Amino acid sequence: MTEGWPELDPVIHAQARLRVMVTLSGLADGDRLTFPRLQELLEMTAGNLSTHLRKLEDAGYTHVEKTHRRRTPVTYVSLTQRGRRAFEDYTARLEALLANRPDGGTGTTDH
């Protein structure tokens, strides 16, 4: 990235992972979603969501808990404190990047 421009977290920056982080960051601390509900909200296939959750989990940004409700397996997904901080940092850097864009923040360019 250009010198002086904020670097965006590449783990979060991928579109699918950014959508996961946005969705989970809307939950209150300690809240979680079931995997099928998250899949439904994001309109992603189970395999695609699993792949992106693994990357976020490996970075320490999400927590995936596999358990049982009675005899039925259930998977819960939540944002970790580290993930919440990383997402807050990501959005702050993105806002700084947009505020300092070459067009002066107007969204137009003069040639």
Domain boundaries along the sequence of the chain: 10-96
Q: What's the pLDDT at 3?
A: 58
In one-letter notation, the amino acid at residue 66 is K
Q: Which H or E run contains 66? A: strand 62-69
Closest C-alpha among 37, 41, 33 to residue 63: 33
Neighbours of 96 (CB within 10 A): 11
Per cent of the chain over pLDDT 70 is 86
The structure's pTM equals: 0.84
Distance, CA of 19 to CA of 12 (rounded, Å): 9
Per-residue pLDDT band for 1 (boundaries 50, 70, 90) equals: very low
Are the C-beta atoms of residues 98 and 104 closer than 8 Å to each other? no
Quick one: tokens of 82? 């580290």
Average pLDDT, the chain: 90
Measured in degrees and rounded to the nearest 5, phi and psi for residue 100 equal -110, 20
Give how far the C-alpha of residue 69 lies from the chain's centroid of Cα atoms, to the nearest Å.
Answer: 27
Q: How confident is the model at residue 7 (pLDDT cuts 50, 70, 90)?
A: confident
Tens digit of pLDDT for each residue in 46-84? 999 999 999 999 999 999 999 999 999 999 999 999 999
For the domain with range 10-96, which CATH number is right: 2.40.180.10, 1.10.10.10, 3.40.50.300, 1.10.599.10? 1.10.10.10
pLDDT at site 100? 80
Which secondary-structure segment (H or E) carries 54? Answer: helix 46-58
